[in-house]
Chain A
Amino acid sequence: MKRVASLFLPMLPIEWLRRLDRTGRSEPPPPDRPLVTTERQGQRVVLAAVCPLARSLGLHPGMPLTQARALVPGLDIRPAEPESDRALLMRLALFAARRWTPFVAIDQPDGLWLDISGCAHLFGGERRLCERILRTCRRAGFSARIAVAGATGAAHALARFAAEEIALCPNGEEAAAIAPLPPQALRIDEETANACRRFGIDTIGELAAMPRGPLARRFGNNVLARLDQALGRSAETFDPIIPREAPRAALRFLEPILSAEAIEQVIGDLAAMLACTLEQQGLGARRVMLACDRVDGDEQTIVIGLASATRDSGHLASLLRMKIEQIEPGFGIEAIRLIATRSEPLAARQVASLEPDCEAELPPLVDRIATRIGMHRVFQMSSIESDVPERSVRHSAPLARAAGWSREWPRPVRLLARPERVGKVIAELPDQPPLRFSWRGETHRIRKADGPERIYGEWWKTLREADSVRDYFQVEDESGARFWLFRRGDGLDPRTGDLSWYIHGVFG
């Protein structure tokens, strides 16, 4: 006998926003302020979800934001995050699949299906199970309602429209249970539900009593299909979630191992096993963790990152071996696991090629260097569209595609990390290049110069830069050395700078 539970989480987006432990959210919305989320609908921004407090103030989903704002001052407005909500739902589903029944499916956007046929007795019956589920949800901070019926549609309708939080409908009694509910409980679109109402069909009972032919003619077959699903006349299937774990390989030892050689050997074996698993799943690892369980219960881990996805067991093993000395075996290690903590799809690659493949050579090299000197120390330079020299470069990932530089306006090869004050500058105001300057105890007489190149502060970054100006000069001294100097201020308006001189770079 089939029993389906429909779990309904009506306030999911709001309650998710209010959760303290959300990643990247330092402070949750204050509970005493009405909270809404918004989404874009064409040109308008409308409310997506509304907290109970906001609802009591007359706001409802679908209301234009401008109207809501006029109604309730001090509204806490956050953008809706359907992706994040979906991910949460997925986590809940995985949790449920591990805990209560293996057949769990996501019921977008705010519910779960749980097929509890034959497993409710493990928890002391359906009611006990439902209470348990609701309790778990509540503890996690989510209000929830649940209904169990033999027919999917009935469970769905009762979870959302029944008066009580837990609705248990014996098989065969679905028709009676849902008869007083409004037609929109049937998972039909709003337009059809409105049409029903316009014909005075206010309940599912009335709808079910109508002759089927004329109904289908006017509303299409979907209504009948939904009605049948609710009354248990037709079955409905759903895709159950299957919990997926990170690809891993593990070895347990009869005797605890202690020597680096032994660990090295195990790493080789594990890498081969992991590579095999990864290949079966069509994945490549981007980050791999090696976890060693010591006999004293301590866990030792090493983590390596990879510049591009790989499942080359030799490469993985060699990188891991470089870090072997970090492992402190203590009284011995009894088990080692190798887990691909981050992986991404990697298709099979053609290997046969006569030309040496430079591109293929690079990632392993990057990985080797990065593993040796630290991942954050390997990077490449990329340009940013900014005229302020120190802001015009940034670090990017070693293998990312970097933006190049324009050659039109040459910049010094070496930019000082911080501009350094230069002294004894003689220059004519407002815009003549300096005739000499001294830097690091050495005085330079300038023979040739170009400039000024006028660079304004980026006022939108900080207001302190609103008026500031730097006049840059490329200068060449008697020895032929070239420097990049600048003066703070445009030489006319004192607001633009104090006329002090700095060196910012050296040309090759």
Chain B
Amino acid sequence: MSPKQSSYVELNAISHFSFLRGVSSCEELFSAAAQLGHKALGITDHNTVTGLVRAMVASDTTGVRLVAGCRLDLMDGNALLVWPEDRAAWSRLTRLLTIGKKRAIPKKGEKGQCFLHWEDVAQWRDGLVAALVPDKADGATQTALAQMRDIFGDRAHLALSLRRRPGDTVRLYELDRLAQRFGLRSLATGDVLYDSPDKRMLQDVVTAIRHICTIDELGFRRERYADRHLKSVAEMERRFAEHPDAIRATADIAERCTFSLRELSYQYPDEIVMSGHTPQHALEKMTRAALTARFPDGMPGEYSNLLEKELRLVAGWRFAPYFLTVNSIVAFARSQGILCQGRGSAANSMICYVLGITSIDPIKHKLLFERFLSDDRDEPPDIDVDFEHERREEVIQWIYETYGHDHAALTAVVSRYRTRGAIRDVGKALGLPEDVTGALSGQVWGWSNEGVADRHVEELGLDLSDPRIALTIELSRQLIGTPRHLSQHPGGFVLTRDRLDALVPIAPAAMEDRWVIEWEKDDLEELRIMKVDVLGLGMLGCMRRAFDLLAEHKGIRHGLEDLQKDDPAVFAMIQKADTLGTFQIESRAQMSMLPRLKPKEFYDLVIQVAIVRPGPIQGDMVHPYLRRREGKEKAEYPNPDLREVLEKTLGVPLFQEQAMKVAIVGAGFTPSEADSLRRSMATFKSTGGVSKFRDKMIEGMLKNGYERDFAERTFKQIEGFGSYGFPESHAASFAKIAYASSWMKHYHPDIFCAALLNAQPMGFYAPAQIVRDAREHGVEVRPVCINASRWDCTIEEQSGEYRAVRLGLRMVKGLANVHAAQILAVRDRPFRSVEDVWNRSGVSVSALERIAEADGFASLGLDRRQALWRVKALGRSTLPLFAAADAREEEREPAVRLKPMSDGREVIEDYRSLHLSLRAHPIGFIRPQLDAMNVVRCGNLQSTKDGRRIEVAGIVLIRQRPGKGNVTFLTIEDETGIANIIVWQRLFEIHRRPVMSASLLKIRGTVQHEGEVIHVIAKQLQDMTPMLHGIGEMPFPNRHGPADGANKGPDPREWAVAKTVSEGSARLPTARSEPVLKLKSRDFH
């Protein structure tokens, strides 16, 4: 063996997947290793193999071979490094880790821990090369060495690392002697914590974060052994010059452990659908039969041709079991009446359509077939299935039952530091006061990965020259992107035929009965492991409820798949942007685009869903598309190849498939290059991932004869929608649901309203707006009633076009489902009184209080106050024996006369207890004052001329700051309708406070008509919230009516007192308890 070959190999390095210990990513470690002349690098994260797939990818790019390993921290305090020799040993390692992880009980706060003992290691030792990480050459080490010798025999090593502490040389010498005595081989390791010495500060900080203390308090809990960065081969050989065999041992292990994660062959689970058939045969049989059943009167040729083409491809890649698996899951859901719909790359396929996995007819809707499968890419197909949000759990449990816990587990999601968390944790570790870190992280809107800008720090009046603040900013920027912990993917299942824990360790999730593997989505894709996404979608639940109600009350039986025909009436409604409550096309941005895009058919909706997203908007794709659609501009296609790709979207690349196709057709990418382009678009974490393809793409296009201008524009568009881009199949699936919900809203607004209310919380709008919209469409909505309401909102008979909607008890704030159920269970005959409800149901007083607050006893002749008064008297004695006595006492009680509530107060109480009021709109009460200020009603904006300067006022319903936040959308509402306000960044900075916090806003601005959607471009904003405070004292402004004493407003003397009190309120400690109208807006950042 030549000396060159036996050079040092670093086998003991940890990545940042050793959470809050390591601070270097695998990419950093491997590129540093490559620079320092390493041929191979061993990654040994603490009790985990999470980072190994990332390491494998980094190893591929750098050419430094990965020696996959793991550091096992045993319960007795010993630590050992293990490296599997081969595939079989890998499986033993993953099973060993699984055993240790399954001992952790997440409920006790042990999530993510791993409990292992020597006996466990002994059981799974075969094929693992191991090294003990010792402290000193003392008794404890001797005991451990004996264990090592007995367990691992000639595969046992003792790791020697320099600590740069007193007596280091002697320590290593003694350890080496000890190893020899026990017949173990010494092994030189660097015990690497980070790739470069510059990471030391960050490492200290994460240690402080791990110990939940400040860096000043950390003391000796800091990593005290020095020199923990990756060092060059020559340097390590110099340092261990006195232990030449320990150097040789590293090379020997690297040579011995040749296992690569690429060897992990993966088997699809067996689907036994038809005994005696291969999966492929079964799939063919099933799909052909299903296609025939769909067209009993003769099958159109194009359908069967497409199906056969797909089946051939599936056969080539042996993906049949995958389709069968998805089909069984969907079939189960169908059998339980759970609404579901597939999306993902394979969802465009005829196979999925005929099997009912999707309801989009690929022929009819002319879907791009490209991303499904092609002969060039051996990527597993991808099908995500959306299920009804509330019943997804049934599907998940069925999967566990059917495939078993050993074969099914959820994908992991690595939670990484984003700006806010990084600032918060680093600030805490550096001992910054909480309000400073709070202020710093408060400057970051949403999920940013960009760190805090210096500008923001100065705006806060903080001193950037203060070293701690400067360090916090700097170190938190470094920390961004570092994994913090593993959590579970919402629904990505990995299913295998062999034991899953022989492939990857499985750990219990925080939720009971959930198991999570250690790898995330990208890792699985890298290893070509199949994943089925079982996701929850609120709107599907809503639609199922709607279909059920439709069948029950109107006798119409419909399903998602029945709505294939484009109905012009529904599209007419969509064009008017009358889409409140519908799926996807209900947001402000979507609504404002609808009148311009004027969708006429299904595919228009597909585009609508895909185009009105931050990416395309930023990539400047919307306007070219609109101009071309309106015929103001001609779509340009430099050549027929691109025309074929881009014709559907008028020359604008809108979908990921198109971006890929453009890269292949236009710039000569290989399919796998195009795929990594897509991948870089799909992972939102990777910042600037798309940009690295820029040169290749533009040069490729130039070479193929495109003009530079066109090439750059095209790339800019692709780059723009990068992280937000939709695959076409997703857009199509969403469009399908969007259409179905619009259909429901158009033809059955009563049922749609009830279903939507029952599916809350969901979507952009609060119940108040949903109810209001339904009422505007002519639906009668009836109040909550103890004798009529069920838990859900229900449909009640009513003459006229639509049925009436009865609000359910679920609308009552703070009322638990079990309590409501308890009451409804004993409602065999109508309740006569509050006491009757209480005696018969035995429900808690507080539950009845909630109902009384919601005015649910009105049908018993009790107004809100009276009912509450009665409820409050209950429950002073809860023994049934005294119940009768109580009831009698109730009768004996002296009569108490309570002042009736003012009209304004009733509305306020409605909002407090139900979040909506059927009586009146709060703004109605202050209309006289607003009129005096010349404020225009929102409903009158329609007839206001374009470009006029006006003032509007209303309650803020929604605040939205899409994308980069250079615009804020506000939706305000008054008693006549809603108005859409646009606040540009400059104005926002000036009026930050009212924009972000006001309940009632007055806006001066310019009216802008865009088809039927009207915006007000704000020029000035004023917080009018104090006006709302008086509403509680007000009668209806238009109903002064004959004063009968009881109904008149507050006594003027009281008013005077109230006024002096509130004027002096600066002095009052209790001024905050004033009951005012509490309106919570929905904010989307």
Contacts and interface: CB of A to CB of B under 8 A. Distances in A.
Interface of A: 8, 10-11, 38, 45, 52, 55-56, 58, 60-63, 65-67, 69-74, 77, 110, 143, 145, 160-161, 163, 180-182, 184, 190, 193-195, 197-200, 202-203, 210-211, 213-214, 217-219, 384-387, 409-410, 431, 450-456, 459-460, 462-463, 466, 474, 493
Contacts of B869: 199, 218
A214 B893 contact: yes
Interface in B177-210: 197, 200-201, 204
B467 A462 contact: yes
B993 A62 contact: no
Contacts of B1073: 184, 190, 193-194
A10 B468 CA distance: 37
A123 B650 CA distance: 93
A74 B468 CA distance: 20
A73 B1058 CA distance: 31
Interface in B1062-1085: 1064-1073, 1075
17 contacts: A45-B434, A45-B435, A61-B1069, A69-B438, A73-B461, A160-B1067, A163-B1060, A194-B1075, A199-B898, A210-B896, A213-B893, A214-B894, A453-B165, A453-B168, A460-B215, A460-B468, A463-B471
A145 B1067 contact: yes
Contacts of B894: 211, 213-214
A62 B1072 contact: yes
Interface string B538-580: 0000000000000000000000000000000000000000000
Contacts of A69: 435, 438-439, 442
Nearest to B435: A77
Nearest to B871: A218
Contact of A70 (B166, B201, B993, B1075): B993
Interface in B314-339: none
B1053 interface: yes
A389 to B, nearest CB: 12
A67 B1067 contact: no
Nearest to A40: B434
Nearest to A74: B461
A305 B438 CA distance: 44
A71 B993 contact: yes
A181 B1057 contact: yes
Interface stretch (B219-227, B404-412, B615-623, B714-722): B219-227
B832 interface: no
Contacts of B4: none
7 interchain residue pairs of minimum CB distance: A385-B219, A200-B899, A454-B226, A454-B164, A218-B872, A10-B1067, A211-B894
Question: Interface centre among B200, B1057, B1060, by most A CB within 10 Å?
Answer: B1057
Nearest to A431: B239
A75 to B, nearest CB: 9
B997 interface: yes
Interface string B501-526: 00000000000000000000000000
A70 B442 CA distance: 8
Given A213-B893, A453-B165, A72 B993 contact: yes
A466 B894 CA distance: 79
Given A52-B1066, A70-B996, A182 B438 contact: no
B422 interface: no
Contacts of B467: 462-463
Nearest to A9: B1067
B226 A70 contact: no
Contacts of B435: 38, 45, 65, 69, 77
Contacts of B166: 409-410, 450-451, 453, 474
A436 to B, nearest CB: 20
Given A199-B868, A218-B873, A459-B201, A143 B1067 contact: yes
Interface residues of B, number: 70
Interface in B453-469: 459-461, 467-468
A387 B224 contact: yes
Contact of A180 (B165, B1057, B1066): B1057
Contacts of A214: 873, 893-894, 896
Given A198-B865, A214-B894, A460-B215, A182 B1061 contact: yes
A67 B1061 contact: no
B1054 interface: yes
B165 A409 contact: yes
Contacts of B219: 384-386
B992 interface: yes
B167 interface: yes
Contact of A10 (B430, B1054, B1057, B1069): B1069
A364 B876 CA distance: 65
Nearest to B441: A66
B896 A493 contact: no
A211 B1068 CA distance: 29
Interface string B152-173: 0000000000001111111000
A466 B442 contact: no
B901 interface: yes
Contact of A160 (B216, B438, B1068): B1068
Contacts of A61: 1069, 1072
Contacts of A197: 1075
Interface string B881-916: 000000000000110101111000000010000000
Nearest to A411: B166
B313 to A, nearest CB: 54
B997 A67 contact: yes
A217 B873 contact: yes
A466 to B, nearest CB: 7
Nearest to A459: B201
B796 to A, nearest CB: 30
Nearest to A110: B1069
Given A77-B435, A181-B1057, A55 B1066 contact: yes
Contacts of A10: 1066-1069
Nearest to B166: A409
A217 B201 contact: no
Given A10-B1069, A454-B164, 13 more contacts: A70-B442, A71-B997, A180-B1053, A190-B1070, A199-B869, A202-B1050, A203-B1054, A217-B873, A409-B165, A450-B170, A459-B471, A460-B204, A460-B471
A61 B1053 CA distance: 28
A45 B992 contact: no
A199 B865 contact: yes
A453 B216 contact: no
Contacts of A431: 239
A38 B435 CA distance: 9
Given A145-B1067, A452-B164, A161 B1061 contact: yes
Interface string B238-260: 01000000000000000000000
Contacts of A386: 219
A406 B587 CA distance: 65
B438 A45 contact: yes
Contacts of B215: 460
A163 B1071 contact: no
Nearest to A181: B1057
Interface in B1024-1061: 1050, 1053-1054, 1057-1058, 1060-1061
B1075 A200 contact: no
B309 to A, nearest CB: 58
Contacts of A462: 467
A213 B892 CA distance: 11
Given A200-B901, A218-B873, A160 B1069 contact: yes
B783 to A, nearest CB: 19
Nearest to B993: A71
- In this complex, the member of B460, B909, B1072 whose beta carbon has the largest number of chain A beta carbons within 10 angstroms is B1072
Contacts of A409: 165-167
Given A45-B434, A60-B1072, A385-B219, A163 B873 contact: no
A60 B992 CA distance: 19
Contacts of B1064: 163
